[in-house]
Structure 1
Amino acid sequence: MKNNSIAFLILYIGDYPWYFSYFLHSCKYNPNIDFYIYTDNPIIESSTPENVKLIPYSLNEFNKDAAKALGFPVNIEHGYKLCDFKPAYGYIFADLVKNYDFWGHCDIDIIFGNIRNFVTDAVLSKYDVISARHDYLTGSFALYRNGLFNNALFKQSKDYIKVFTSSENFCFDETNYAFKAFEIGLHRSEIKTEVESMTHVVKRLEEKRKLKPYFEFQILEGLAGNMLWDNGTLTYRKEFEVMYYHLIKLKTVYSEKNIQNRVVPNKFRIGKKKIYY
């Protein structure tokens, strides 16, 4: 079976947070996946894994590149607004991903386990869009089969121009904040939102058999605790392997000194309130 190539595109504006070293360390243990990080931070190659490429970049450069690709003015002023553009990364940076089978986007407040144990070649050969949840498309991790239709999938939303030209954050890459409605299993046509999100788009096209998405729960969030990261494998409760842990809640109750070039050990535990060695 074909070994599908994968590239993640990450745009990060602002100082790296304390957990960035953990993210990089977990990327290192996924050596057959490439990570491209566009950032306005100083580039320090010595502390970067071989499969991670740091690319000097600014919001002004993104505005120019996005406007050129999309055909209308883009003028975002804050890095967080980039989340709305995640589904368009493969379109805006088409030259970068042209030789990959899949491109994706992910956040940096995550610690990966073994991605390929979950996103196998069997899965990649069958599906066009990969989510890390069973109920909606995840902004912290999503993969798209590289191709003209999928790379422009965001255009299937009737509201994409509104989203890309507004300074407001719409959570376009996920659900336009309708998380609970999708979680309880409402049909996408019953979930009325200000803009048609990517989850709405993907589920609508799935029903029309124009797209084959893969929705599977393979993420830990919240203050789960009882996790062990051991040489690239993330395990929960000594029993369940996990693709990645999203620190979205942990980072609100725990932090470390933001040490440049932090040496992360090859084995550590993640509790409900801290990471410890």
Structure 2
Amino acid sequence: MVSGLVKCNTVVIVPYFGELPWYFWYFIKSCENNPDFHFLLIGDSFDAVDCPANVMIVPMNLNELAELICTKLGFPVQLSKAYKLCDFKPAYGLIFSDFIADYQFWAQSDIDVIFGKLSSFLTPDFLSQYDYVSVRHDYTSGCFSVFRNLDWVNRLFMLSKDYEMVYQSPGNYCFDQCNYTMDYLTNGGDLFKKFTEIESFTHVVRKEQAGERIRAHFDFILIEGLPGRIKYDRGRLIYQNRFEAILYHLYHFKRVYFPARKPAIIPKRFRISVSRIYC
């Protein structure tokens, strides 16, 4: 258990390196509004962040993280750029095992998300039924996913025949998801009929799920793209005044909205259109 935090079942692991972008402040507010979950922020940019009570910061630079990964995996890895961390996401349970030993579940997340009410979706009863949870229906979700904190689950990524090559290469392989076949899978394609450069984490989880060796859950419960009509209301994320979502992934939104400065305060309620945030 992270020192100083009240006991809970799930910790969300979030490494980040470099200057904090404007959307980080929305992210951290949405963490604060999920007091039933803990968040572990690891990186070199959080010194000046006034953290909520459920957030723990571990100062670490990229070289130090690379050394930790080498120690945990037992072989040299390539981590010269922070974006390469995407390939390592399925291994966070092993890499950061010293920080998460007392949790039943851990999740990996990016900071370009605004969480809704996580406890509306990740209830104790729901989590008790699964070893891995994707917030997409079609592939293992890179922006956020949940793992049961057991050694065999934390080593699941090792079932890929390519994981050592991926981790020893400086290139980005989208290993945490599906080796860049997202559009193909979203359109209903069969991953096992598609040539891919590497055997990704989606390959691994789908194979294990088909063999009934893992209890995996895939469902589209997030908001992505630029749909507009999104409302954040005291910790809940609502789309079209009808659907509650676990999070909004800002992958596309951060490419169209460029506020001049970080927000002075994040209100309890705000709206997100296709191109801006209205506070």
User: Normalised by the size of structure 1, how large is the TM-score?
Assistant: 0.95
Per-residue deviation, 1:258? 3.5
Question: In the alignment, which of 9, 13, 16 is matched to residue 17 of structure 2?
Answer: 13
Q: Distance in 1 between matches of 2:195 and 2:208?
A: 17
1:165-201 Cα offsets, whole Å, 9 max, x none, are 1000000000010112322333332122111111110
Q: Distance in 1 between matches of 2:98 and 2:57?
A: 17
Per-residue deviation, 1:4? 6.8
1:80-127 Cα offsets, whole Å, 9 max, x none, are 001110110110111111100101101111111101111222220001
What is residue 186 of structure 1 aligned with on the other side?
A: 189
What is residue 146 of structure 1 aligned with on the other side?
A: 149
More displaced stretch, 49-58 vs 179-188: 179-188
Summarize the alignment of residues 103-142 of structure 1 with structure 2, pairs less than 5 Å apart. 103-142=106-145
Q: Distance in 2 between matches of 1:5 and 1:225?
A: 33
Kept in 2: contact 1:131–1:143 (CA 8 A): yes
Q: Distance in 1 between matches of 2:184 and 2:256?
A: 27
The two structures, once aligned, show a CA RMSD in angstroms of 1.4
User: Normalised by the size of structure 2, how large is the TM-score?
Assistant: 0.95
Q: Distance in 2 between matches of 1:41 and 1:188?
A: 37
Per-residue deviation, 1:231? 0.4
3-state DSSP of counterpart to 2:20: coil
More displaced stretch, 35-44 vs 171-180: 35-44
Kept in 2: contact 1:4–1:102 (CA 8 A): no
What is residue 246 of structure 2 aligned with on the other side?
A: 243
What is residue 92 of structure 2 aligned with on the other side?
A: 89
Q: Distance in 2 between matches of 1:251 and 1:173?
A: 21
Per-residue deviation, 1:30? 0.5
Summarize the alignment of residues 207-222 of structure 1 with structure 2, pairs less than 5 Å apart. 207-222=210-225
Per-residue deviation, 1:138? 0.4
Q: In structure 1, what residue type is equivalent to 2:264?
A: R
Q: Distance in 1 between matches of 2:154 and 2:261?
A: 36
- The reply to whether residue 274 of structure 1 matches residue 260 of structure 2 is no
Q: Distance in 2 between matches of 1:75 and 1:168?
A: 9
Per-residue deviation, 1:53? 1.3
3-state DSSP of counterpart to 2:153: helix
Per-residue deviation, 1:42? 4.5
What is residue 27 of structure 2 aligned with on the other side?
A: 23
Q: Distance in 2 between matches of 1:224 and 1:53?
A: 33
Give the gaps of 5 or more residues in structure 1. none
What is residue 165 of structure 1 aligned with on the other side?
A: 168
Q: In structure 1, what residue type is equivalent to 2:274?
A: K
3-state DSSP of counterpart to 2:147: strand
Kept in 2: contact 1:21–1:262 (CA 8 A): no
3-state DSSP of counterpart to 1:55: strand
